[in-house]
Structure 1
Amino acid sequence: MANSNNIDIDAIVSGKQAFKADLLSDFDKSQWPDRIDYVARKLTDGEYIVNPQAQNPRFLTGGADLDKAARDYYLRGIGALTGDISRSTALPDTFALGTLLVEFAGLQAGLEHVDRRDVPPGEILSRLITRNIQRQTRDQSAQLARQLRADAETPRELVAELTSVPEVAPVVEQALPDPDDADTLTTQLAELDLTTELWDHQLESLALWLHHDTNAYVDMATATGKTVLGLAAVAHAVDSGSLHPADQQRLSDIFDGDLPDPHRDRPNDVLIVTTDDLLGVQWARLFQDHCHTPAAFTQVRESGIRLPWGHIDIRSARNMEDVDPSDYRLAIFDEVHNYSTRGGWGDHLVSFIESSCPVLAMTGSVTEQLESLVQRADRSFPLVYRYTHQLALADGVIPDFEWTLSFTEVTDSDSLSQFRETASHFDDVVEYDAGTYHLENDALAEAAPELPNATVDEVAGDYVSGSALAAGLRDHGDDDIAPTKQLETLASGIGNRTIHRLNLDADLAAVVELAEQALSDGRPVLVLTRSYREAKEIWQELYDQHGDRVVRRLDADQDAAKQDSIIRSFDEAETDEKALIGPGKRIGQGNDIRSVEVGINIARPGSGVNTSLVQRLGRLLRDAGGKETVSFYHLVGVPPADATIEPDGESFVRTIAEFFGQVLEPDTDGILKQPSVSIEDDVASDIVTLEQLGAPNVRDDPRATAIETAYATAIDDHPDTPTVATDWFAAAFGDQTDPSRVTDASTGRVRREPDDDSGSGQQEPPEGASSSDDETDDSSTGPESGDGSDEVDESDDDETNLTVEDNPSPLAEHYDAFRSLGIIHRAIRESARTTFPETDPQQRWMDDARSIITEQGWGDQDTGYGRQQMERSPFKISEYREAYGTEDRITTFETVGTQTLSPAITALLDESLAELESWVVPVAPESGVPLPVLVESEAELAQARALLDEFPAEPPVTLEDASNDETTSGSSDESGEETDGSDTTGGPEVGSEDDTSTPVEDVRGVPAAATEALHAAGYDQLDDLRRATDDELTAIDGISAQRVTMIRAAVGRQQDDS
């Protein structure tokens, strides 16, 4: 008990029994926390009398009395609410639960008059408490604290979170805000107090920026936390902000206690410059993720975010004409490598550099143009820190693994029963519209005919949240109980809806099946559960006392040292048939597990991927013991359709958008790759219900992100099938990751996953996701995605007498030749480790070349070669590849002209693409010119598009179909021998004796658009190029460093660069 030093045990027991008899005996155990919260609210106004009709009634006067009388009942109620009885004994005996409940109630009451209808008072308070907890904990407790939900609206939600990580309970008392300052709580919540500790490279970057008079730039690879660094700079600079206390101390130590002045004499406003609107939304998300600022506080309106302490002005780089540096405390320029010229956006950057306004610029790719730009400024603007992709992988900052959203059933439980019962009552009386709960008069009167009309009118109306609706119903009953039993059931269920949703139990059979498959394949597996109970159940299914497999689990009775030894014993076991099972919040705290190849995480239904979990997974799964692939499954339980309501659907849609949005916002969430999707047949219709319930509320919400809106809009086009398993993301955002989809007939799952050329009855992924090369087997980054391969392959080999070996297919070869070009383009992007702007000729060329095999099509195409191959061809692309090449690509093209990569491209890609010699580019059928891999100007783009126009819209399926049709773009001569594609330009081979006088326009690696610039600069022949230095060529207007690399690869190294 919380007050075990009280020697009057009989009085305590008697008091508890009297409290239960008076307050709880008529209610289900899961409702006990509601009733005790009611008593806590009463205690904020004075004393509470237990059983006032008794001869000797008992008086509760504060939190300590409530703790004695109700602590055990409250925690048992939390155990019933969450479906996890271990929660009832999780908190330390010394934890003053009663005091927390009373103080929470008092602070919540102080917030009720604050005009913030968009954020419930309980959520404001919970966010402040959670933020304070996360800022006050250290080491492993800090890692656990970061997993607390910040948006709880009731004290029972907060306590439920604390029982899942009881290690942080000791700091709760210090985390409670001052009750005398209730009026200022919303202002406190708007302050930029970071809850996240910075990575070492972020803190070092911040320190160096401060050291260089707050005027410098950093080079940090994508997804390594550039924007979080920017947020830290803002938090340090403004009056109402601060770093995490641990970082504040580290920074102070670096400067020996003498931190540079944050320019507090300047205005308190901040300018953030981004290259597009999506990055502006990402910045708004940063405040929510790392300061627990409610989304309602950080809506981007007009030119930015308005907070009580100042204005965060978020501008796109193209909208800077009226901006004055003197108006800001600090300016952040994001993705600054796109500010390529002084005549463009670069002028604005230079004007800020040359002003007195502190500037932090951030890039993921330092270009020569950027270096030249900042060097021209009249004020020093140094590059102070560089953090590469390789370093980030080595440090575990970037998780690098394939992952799957795996949807499965939820099992019967008390939580599901309450979830379903609440849904039935909700549908009777409540209408929901984008966050607003509306009680309709007529519906309420029909559901509760015993209510007087005046009461119906008072209760009916709009409520901002489920907890607010519950409170509204109970305000019109006695003793904080709704006026009727049905309405009280609704109030209890809707007030606890989030707790019930988060504690639905996913079917563990799906976990066991995934783990068994991994063990059978000899792939060490890590299973992250939600509780020790789940860990034990899975262990019992996987453990084989007579077999050789090693199955370890963590147990609640083990201390930290014992658990560490179990983890080490798993890692050191000399077998690949091994599994480690334990709660996700316990595994990975300070441990690097090197031997894992498959990770399975059991999610709390309705929750996203927690950022700290993602980062720990990056550490746990990195290296993978030297294995080639690592897979991660995020298992999500889906409630049945008859148990769901509109708020559940809205939560589902927003959560799914978060999962996919990580690809576009990697700094916010931390996973680079789009998930594959696996859906069990039994829950497909339940997912459709959730999507259809949630889409209208998200689509019409002006605060919805672009990703949420795209998903919600796509749902309208798929009323009968799960939209999450379609190409909605690729269709909306183009050249992002896009795993293929196949149907796994053996398991009854619909999957979207790479590297599957399964046999009959399964859909062929014609976009080339079946490549098994290390750098191409991830179709999630393939530019050839989105070709409509989600449709069922209707071809039937039994209906034709054609054999692949005797029927070369122009259609199949056109498809695979362009797929090859797409894979080369992907390697170009990965080797550059940057994103080409949409307006860049190279990006536009990659999009154009990709379109010819996608549903979009090119020119006169109704659809691209990928869809045509799937719908028109009598045999699968995998069969054709096997007959004319390897299992993953065609190597012998019978009907389509191709050329292997030039030495220039080979030099450019270096080791970015394995087996470089086997990848090809298509040759235009009329001109005989190979399609370029790179274009750097509008002129080159126009020439490339003209070559693309030469390819047929619908190639014949076979040569027999072609007959004398000249649309076949074959390079075969009359004898059927394949033309040598090594040099289709006709120029002399570099290195031959007579090549020195070759005109520059005939030199491979020099496009026609660049020859004019070279002639103008006096470089007319190949020998001139050989004699020139790299610096001399780069100095020519229109000749980039990348182009010089290609020229140098074609003509040889210069003899003397001095």
Structure 2
Amino acid sequence: MNIDKIADASTGQKTPREIFQDEWLRGMPKAQWPSYIDESATLVMEGITIGDTNLTKGDFSIETGTLYRRGLARTTGRQRSETSLPVGSVSGRDLGIVMWALNGLKRDIETSQHTNYTSTSRAVEAVLNKAMIGAVADQNFDYTDFERIRLPEGAAVTDLMAELFCRPRSDAFVDALVEISEESRRSGESLLQLLEQPKMVTALWEHQREALAEWLDSGCRGYVDMATATGKTFLGLATIAHHFGDLHPNDTDLTRKNLRPDTDSDATVVVVAHRSVILDQWKREFDRHLNIPKEASASDGEYTARYSWGEVHFWTPNRLLERDVPDADLVVLDETHHYVGGSGFGALLDQMSGHLLALSGSLNEKNSNTLERRQIPKLFEFSLRDGQRVGIIPQCDWHVRIVPFEGQSTLAEVTEQYRTGYDQYSDGSAASVLEDVADDQLSFNSLSEARSITQSRYGREVKERNDEFRKFSAATKSRGLTKYNLSPTLSAITSITLNHVHDHKCVVLLNSGDEIETVVSGLRRELNENFDDLVVDLDSYDGDPLEAIESFDEKREVGVIIGTASTLGEGVDIKTADVGINRSSGRLSHSLVQRIGRILRNPDGDKRATFYHVVGIPTEEDAVLLKEDGQELLDMASQLVSWGESFDARPGFETMEVGVDESLYQLEQHGAHGILGSDSYSWPTNEDARERLRNICEEIRGSEESVLLKMDPQLTSGTQPSNRTNYVSSHSDSKIELPMTLLKAVSEHVEGNASIGHDSRFIEQAIREGLEEIEIAKIGASESDSDTDFLSAVEINPVLCSVLRVALASTGVSSSEFAQMAVKKALSKHVIDNNEDAFDARSSK
């Protein structure tokens, strides 16, 4: 005990921590403490005194760290002393230092003059990931102890603290995190300087390493032919990281410093793709894999991003032709087959004499020759079959098992706190404590809107003056945090395992040692004397986990191996497993698809695998917010369907309890009406997921039973029923070439009309209408656009493509000519002030 505490004890004087707890936390659910402490930390940073606590910037983290730790532990549903998670072992002091550092970083981002963040969570996430990657590179801890951190938009510091301390982490990871926070405090240097650096935070797959090595060996010039979904964009990002930043620590052995451009802060990179939507995807991939949030760049119009190390142009071929080829240090050509054979592009290639990577999945001989004549040789090929063989593109049956959350009492407690605040403040009455602020400036209709309001400028001012509103703000954050930390009912995972363990080789992925212990205990009770022969528990294994994994893979005929994502997830091969059972985390990540492929390997291309994704939902009346939880459920379902369809394994949704069926139906109904009836709902950015979500919601509105449970899983490759007519057997090519200026007009129209869906849908409908309305005999050569315009291949419904070819067979009119006419006619009909004459005038420039 230090001298101050001895004095306090002898005089009966309370410590600042005790005063803070007594005056500000008493009567508040412990699960809500972390959010409230974060709110208070922000006030202290701004020089505002918290009551009579006398807490300062110098001692706030030390005094409140223990309280924060107790509250964070409560959100896990376990006592701190009973959990093996980091929150159970880290000291209150160390946790407090990390908490203070993250609140400070969040505040620095919010007040930065160089960025314009609508949400700080991505910036915090990016900085922290890069700092931890830096610790790996500096050999402060091993990469096997690193796990990338992902946060949702609008995440609070409590969400990040839960991600760090309420998930399985190694002692080395936690120690490095504390040291990073301590060093930032000691040096006074902001972590924001890491934000713009292009650092790969994800390791390359082996075939990507091979492709990058070939590119480097060839003097950084050539093209690769890689099938869809095998990581072409990721490879392109790796070339940027290699030249202007750093590869992932697992891949630094590939680095050739002598091949890097001699630039300081004036590098120029050009990324070319035939459609703006693909370029937008590239910008998002900068965020995802280089961890450079979109807002970290200074924008030079829509097409160029400026960073401290240089500028990146995201240009279409037409824009490249308009602007001419800049003196670039690196050019990346994406989906090259769409435009490399277009009129005039060869001349552009002649100007690209430096470092260049061309990416494609379907280059024909003519396009290949076009590249090779410009000393752009073929470097690497990776087919769809190669992807299936290594497990990147698995063939599997995918089940989404929906079950209740495990232990919903804490969620019910926090939900009640939110409901109370919603009833009190949703009408905007909190504005009464401010001058010249109308109620509608602080009114809200949903949990997401409430979170936005409480974090707005006016919301922060109210929190400084109104303690009850500050508690409500903490409740809005705590509910998401608590829900995120809850697990699905673990008995469901035990049940699924028991159904397969005697006849299959199963892999079970859970989130923590506590969860493993629960599932293993259930299996031990049911399997009795067969337990040791069938179950491998990595959490209790004394030796090298990789040895246990290899033994299970090579020697076991049936059984189950159980571990966390850190021991059984990314980078771990279990080639012989044919059943995967995955406990869903609190938020959806595309790594789920990679997990299916990485764990359920398919080396011979003939294995049928089964994957279960076990998802929890709130089922108790006091714990559920029907509209908000329903929206979240449907958003997740649409994303899963979209991902599944991308590799021919659309999931089927299922439950095993009647009560869950009814809860699911109510969530669907309220969620769908909330989505379709809201002008402010944030639709998925992914086009396929957005379309799936809209279709699911429309179907739900007229249904008297669960739509998700009625959804049929997609037939996988090779299972097409024999009674279906193959309309496209003689016309396997379902692509039509259209001018890029016309495609641009279509994209602009579709972007302004969300009900249309996507570009190809508009084009297909235009062709259908054209077949009924246009006199084919009157179409002449004049209807097609100038040969100087680039042509791009658009994939449409193969049946429609066949019908069109049959209709045009004896007319002398090509599919492309007819499609151009039909699309122009549709645009002139549907777009105000975008008639055919205006379009022709624009395309002739």
Given the two structures, how large is their TM-score scaled by the length of structure 1?
0.59
1:541 equivalenced with 2:522 (yes/no): yes
User: Alpha-carbon deviation of 1:647?
Assistant: 5.8
Q: For the residues of structure 2 that align with 1:573 and 1:465, how far apart are their CA atoms?
A: 54
Please, which of 819, 824, 828 is the counterpart of residue 725 of structure 2? 819
1:11 and 1:30, CA in 2 relative to 1: closer, same or farther beyond 3 A?
Answer: farther
Q: Secondary structure at the match of 2:380?
A: strand
What's 1:62 paired with?
A: 58
Q: Which structure 2 residue ranges, 5 or more long, are not aligned?
A: 739-760, 773-797, 815-845
1:776 equivalenced with 2:718 (yes/no): yes
What's 1:491 paired with?
A: 473
Q: Secondary structure at the match of 2:580?
A: strand
What's 2:73 paired with?
A: 79
Q: Which structure 1 residue ranges, 5 or more long, are not aligned?
A: 53-57, 431-438, 446-450, 727-740, 742-748, 755-768, 785-815, 830-834, 841-850, 863-934, 949-1008, 1010-1058
1:293 and 1:661, CA in 2 relative to 1: closer, same or farther beyond 3 A?
Answer: farther
Q: For the residues of structure 1 that align with 2:253 and 2:617, how far apart are their CA atoms?
A: 44
Q: For the residues of structure 2 that align with 1:551 and 1:400, how far apart are their CA atoms?
A: 25
1:676 and 1:94, CA in 2 relative to 1: closer, same or farther beyond 3 A?
Answer: same
1:675 equivalenced with 2:651 (yes/no): yes
User: Alpha-carbon deviation of 1:695?
Assistant: 4.7
Q: Check the 8 A contact 1:584/1:601 in 2, yes or no.
A: no
User: Alpha-carbon deviation of 1:162?
Assistant: 1.2
What's 2:488 paired with?
A: 506
What's 2:817 paired with?
A: none
Amino acid at match of 1:244: H
1:441 equivalenced with 2:439 (yes/no): no
What's 1:1034 paired with?
A: none
What's 1:137 paired with?
A: 136
What's 1:737 paired with?
A: none
Q: Check the 8 A contact 2:638/2:692 in 1, yes or no.
A: yes
Q: For the residues of structure 2 that align with 1:547 and 1:855, how far apart are their CA atoms?
A: 63
Select the structure with the greater relative contact order (CA < 8 A; seq sep ≥ 6): 2
Q: For the residues of structure 2 that align with 1:836 and 1:298, how far apart are their CA atoms?
A: 39
What's 1:526 paired with?
A: 507
Q: For the residues of structure 1 that align with 2:706 and 2:274, how far apart are their CA atoms?
A: 31
What's 1:958 paired with?
A: none
For the aligned residue pairs, the C-alpha RMSD in angstroms reads 5.0
What's 1:155 paired with?
A: 157
Please, which of 170, 176, 192 is the counterpart of residue 171 of structure 1? 176
Within 5 A, what are the aligned runs for 1:556-635? 561=543, 563-564=545-546, 567=549, 570-571=552-553, 574-576=556-558, 578-588=559-569, 591-605=572-586, 607-611=587-591, 614-623=593-602, 628-635=607-614
Q: Check the 8 A contact 1:303/1:313 in 2, yes or no.
A: no
Q: Identity percentage over the alignment?
A: 20
User: Alpha-carbon deviation of 1:659?
Assistant: 3.0
User: Alpha-carbon deviation of 1:286?
Assistant: 0.9
Amino acid at match of 2:158: R
Q: For the residues of structure 1 that align with 2:86 and 2:453, how far apart are their CA atoms?
A: 27
Amino acid at match of 1:259: L
User: Alpha-carbon deviation of 1:722?
Assistant: 8.0
User: Alpha-carbon deviation of 1:400?
Assistant: 4.1
1:552 equivalenced with 2:535 (yes/no): yes
1:720 and 1:531, CA in 2 relative to 1: closer, same or farther beyond 3 A?
Answer: farther
Q: For the residues of structure 1 that align with 2:216 and 2:545, how far apart are their CA atoms?
A: 42
Within 5 A, what are the aligned runs for 1:261-660? 261=261, 268-294=267-293, 303-304=302-303, 306-309=305-308, 312-317=312-317, 320-326=320-326, 328-339=328-339, 341=341, 343=343, 347-348=344-345, 350-376=347-373, 379-418=374-413, 420-421=415-416, 424-425=419-420, 427-428=422-423, 440-441=427-428, 444=430, 454=435, 460-461=441-442, 469-470=453-454, 475=460, 482-484=466-468, 487-519=469-501, 522-543=503-524, 544-546=526-528, 548=530, 550-552=533-535, 554=537, 561=543, 563-564=545-546, 567=549, 570-571=552-553, 574-576=556-558, 578-588=559-569, 591-605=572-586, 607-611=587-591, 614-623=593-602, 628-640=607-619, 643-644=624-625, 651-652=632-633, 654-660=635-641
Q: For the residues of structure 2 that align with 1:47 and 1:385, how far apart are their CA atoms?
A: 61
User: Alpha-carbon deviation of 1:29?
Assistant: 1.2
More helix by share: 2
User: Alpha-carbon deviation of 1:380?
Assistant: 1.4
Amino acid at match of 1:170: D
Which one has a bigger Cα radius of gyration? 1
Q: For the residues of structure 1 that align with 2:481 and 2:649, how far apart are their CA atoms?
A: 30
1:509 and 1:582, CA in 2 relative to 1: closer, same or farther beyond 3 A?
Answer: same
Q: Check the 8 A contact 1:341/1:373 in 2, yes or no.
A: yes
- Count matched residues: 732
Q: Check the 8 A contact 1:663/1:674 in 2, yes or no.
A: yes
Q: Check the 8 A contact 2:270/2:313 in 1, yes or no.
A: yes
Q: For the residues of structure 2 that align with 1:95 and 1:625, how far apart are their CA atoms?
A: 53
User: Alpha-carbon deviation of 1:620?
Assistant: 2.3
1:713 equivalenced with 2:694 (yes/no): yes
1:206 equivalenced with 2:212 (yes/no): yes
Given the two structures, how large is their TM-score scaled by the length of structure 2?
0.72
Q: Check the 8 A contact 2:39/2:474 in 1, yes or no.
A: no
Q: Check the 8 A contact 2:41/2:103 in 1, yes or no.
A: yes
Q: Secondary structure at the match of 1:243?
A: coil
1:90 and 1:341, CA in 2 relative to 1: closer, same or farther beyond 3 A?
Answer: same
Amino acid at match of 1:401: C
Amino acid at match of 1:282: Q
Q: For the residues of structure 1 that align with 2:396 and 2:45, how far apart are their CA atoms?
A: 51
What's 1:228 paired with?
A: 234
Q: Check the 8 A contact 1:71/1:97 in 2, yes or no.
A: yes
Q: For the residues of structure 2 that align with 1:301 and 1:426, how far apart are their CA atoms?
A: 43
User: Alpha-carbon deviation of 1:452?
Assistant: 5.2
Q: Check the 8 A contact 1:539/1:551 in 2, yes or no.
A: no
User: Alpha-carbon deviation of 1:368?
Assistant: 0.9
Amino acid at match of 1:386: E
Q: Secondary structure at the match of 1:618?
A: helix
Amino acid at match of 1:752: D
User: Alpha-carbon deviation of 1:629?
Assistant: 1.1
Q: Secondary structure at the match of 1:592?
A: coil
1:26 and 1:123, CA in 2 relative to 1: closer, same or farther beyond 3 A?
Answer: farther
Q: For the residues of structure 1 that align with 2:684 and 2:589, how far apart are their CA atoms?
A: 21
1:415 and 1:356, CA in 2 relative to 1: closer, same or farther beyond 3 A?
Answer: farther
